[in-house]
């Protein structure tokens, strides 16, 4: 009797590639991209006041931040693959709640959507750090941006246009894409990551790893880059549409412009070449300085709404550049033994920016119009440019030893 051999691909799933992670990120871009311009509109329509919208975004940000910090704690009891699965299902539940349409349901839908993005992001980054070599992180980030281009380009415009034809349409599409994303995730057989083991003692407090983070200046700097860049996107996504409505430019302009900006994602390989043609420090500094100048200019010329909007669009192009390069300093400094914990820290930049941006906007709106938010964001971007001056000039170059004491220095792994 001939012994039947089980195929190798069944017994041992092939290691996921850069392309596989790009596909997964591309599906998430569809899930979130089609709703990103819809949520500010339905919130503003339901509440009718920019200050109230900012306050509710502020509260949702606090909830999302707390949820993100709890993920490493939860993963000690719930396998990472089930945590990612739960995030996908929250996307579906949020979309269904938004279809219901009441103000309370819309706020709950926004909260679920935001928490789902955090959970999936933490798990996704941990998987990337498990399976992708450190020197390949730049290529992985570029692949992620490239595969996400369609969702982030077509999604915002499609969302606001489809909502006018049939209000539930963007939410139905988002829920369907979340189901497909979940199916692809399981098909990739990522499991629970390479280094995940069952806890042998009591689970640590979810905040217990924060001192380790604050002891590493290079991680703090990388986190600030991600957080301030995210604040820039918050301003562009939430307050540009409100500014356009108040200036009589139409309630669809924000979504259309966001789609136009995100078309730059298709140029991710070319932008990566631009980044690689200079030091990572120079690329990050140029990106933050140029973006900050555009945002400050938009606040200064708000009396000419079309010119202000054009300045913001130009600034958003530099945000795309920062999306590709500004996250690398943090990812390159993470130790293998701290992947899940530091992924949770890193992912919280979205929630922190989701708290700081509407919170600061709420205060700015007490003394200035919406355009004041643009100028305040520009000042923060200039601050990130100043921080980037401390990065090591050779950060990101292959096989180059880094000097101790710089933000880019990676400590040896301690057993």
114-159 pLDDT tens trace:
899 888 988 887 888 777 776 666 677 777 877 887 888 888 888 8
More confident residue, 44 or 294: 294
Domains delineated in the chain: 17-193+208-388 (1.20.1250.20)
Q: What CA–CA distance (Å, rounded) separates 184 from 180? A: 6
Across all residues in the chain, what is the average pLDDT?
79
- pLDDT tens digits for range 279-316: 778 888 999 999 999 999 999 898 899 999 999 999 99
pLDDT classification of 340: cutoffs 50, 70, 90: low
pLDDT classification of 325: cutoffs 50, 70, 90: confident
The pLDDT assigned to 2 comes to: 47
CA nearest 207: which of 51, 64, 344?
Answer: 344
Q: Taking residues 174-181, what's their average pLDDT?
A: 94
pLDDT classification of 394: cutoffs 50, 70, 90: low
Contacts of 246 (CB under 8 A, 6+ apart): 50, 369, 370
Q: Is the pLDDT of residue 344 over 80?
A: no
pLDDT classification of 361: cutoffs 50, 70, 90: confident
Q: Taking residues 394-404, what's their average pLDDT?
A: 50
Q: Is the pLDDT of residue 191 over 90?
A: no
- pLDDT tens digits for range 54-102: 788 888 888 887 887 787 777 778 888 899 999 999 999 999 998 887 7
The pLDDT assigned to 200 comes to: 43
Which residue has tokens 């999604």?
Answer: 155
The overall pTM is greater than 0.85: no
SS (H, E, C) the chain: CCCCCCCHHHHCCCCCCHHHHHHHHHHHHHHHHHHHCHHHHHHHHHHCCHHHHHHHHHHHHHHHHHHHHHHHHHHCCCCHHHHHHHHHHHHHHHHHHHHHCCHHHHHHHHHHHHHHHHHHHHHHHHHHHHHCCHHHHHHHHHHHHHHHHHHHHHHHHHHHHHHHHCCCHHHHHHHHHHHHHHHHHHHHCCCCCCCCCCCCCCCCCCCCCHHHHHCCHHHHHHHHHHHHHHHHHHHHHHHHHHHHHHCCCCCCHHHHHHHHHHHHHHHHHHHHHHHHCCCHHHHHHHHHHHHHHHHHHHHHCCCCHHHHHHHHHHHHHHHHHHHHHCCHHHHHHCCHHHHHHHHHHHHHHHHHHHHHHHHHHHHHHHHCCCHHHHHHHHHHHHHHHHHHCCCCCCCCCCCCCCCCCCCCCCCCCCC
The pLDDT assigned to 257 comes to: 84
- Percentage, residues of the chain above pLDDT 70: 83
């Amino acid at each position: 009797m001939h012994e039947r051999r089980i195929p190798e691909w069944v017994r041992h799933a092939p290691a996921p590639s850069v392309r596989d992670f790009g596909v997964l990120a591309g599906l998430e871009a569809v899930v979130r991209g089609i709703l990103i311009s819809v949520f500010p509109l339905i919130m503003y329509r339901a509440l009718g006041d920019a200050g109230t919208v900012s306050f509710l975004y502020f509260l949702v940000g606090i909830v999302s931040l707390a949820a993100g910090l709890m993920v490493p704690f939860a993963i000690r009891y719930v396998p990472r693959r089930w945590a990612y699965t739960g995030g996908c299902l929250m996307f579906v539940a949020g979309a269904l709640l938004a279809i219901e349409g009441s103000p309370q349901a819309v706020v709950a839908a926004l909260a679920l959507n935001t928490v789902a993005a955090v959970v999936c992001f933490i798990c996704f980054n941990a998987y990337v750090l498990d399976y992708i070599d450190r020197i390949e992180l730049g290529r992985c980030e570029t692949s992620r941006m490239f595969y996400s281009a369609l969702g982030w380009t077509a999604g915002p415009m499609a969302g606001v246009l489809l909502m006018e034809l049939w209000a539930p349409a963007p939410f139905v599409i988002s829920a369907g894409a979340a189901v497909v994303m979940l199916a692809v995730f399981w098909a990739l057989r990522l499991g629970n990551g390479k280094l995940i083991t069952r806890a042998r003692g009591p689970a640590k407090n979810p905040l217990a790893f924060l001192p380790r983070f604050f002891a590493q200046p290079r991680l703090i700097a990388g986190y600030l880059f991600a957080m301030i860049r995210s604040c820039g996107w918050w301003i562009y996504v939430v307050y540009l549409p409100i500014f356009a409505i108040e200036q009589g430019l139409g309630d669809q302009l924000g979504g259309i412009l966001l789609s136009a900006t995100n078309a730059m994602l298709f140029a991710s390989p070319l932008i990566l070449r631009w980044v690689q043609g200079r030091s990572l420090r120079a690329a990050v500094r140029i990106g933050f300085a140029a973006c900050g100048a555009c945002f400050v200019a938009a606040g200064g010329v708000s009396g000419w709404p079309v010119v202000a909007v054009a300045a913001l669009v130009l600034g958003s192009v530099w945000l795309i550049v920062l999306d590709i390069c500004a996250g690398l300093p943090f990812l390159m400094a993470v130790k293998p033994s701290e992947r899940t914990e530091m992924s949770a820290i890193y992912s919280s930049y979205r929630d922190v920016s989701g708290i700081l941006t509407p919170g600061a906007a709420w205060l700015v709106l007490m003394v200035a119009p919406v355009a004041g938010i643009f100028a305040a964001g520009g000042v923060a971007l200039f601050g990130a440019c100043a921080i980037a001056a401390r990065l090591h000039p050779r950060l990101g170059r292959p096989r180059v030893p880094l000097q101790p004491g710089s933000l880019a220095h990676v400590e040896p792994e301690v057993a």
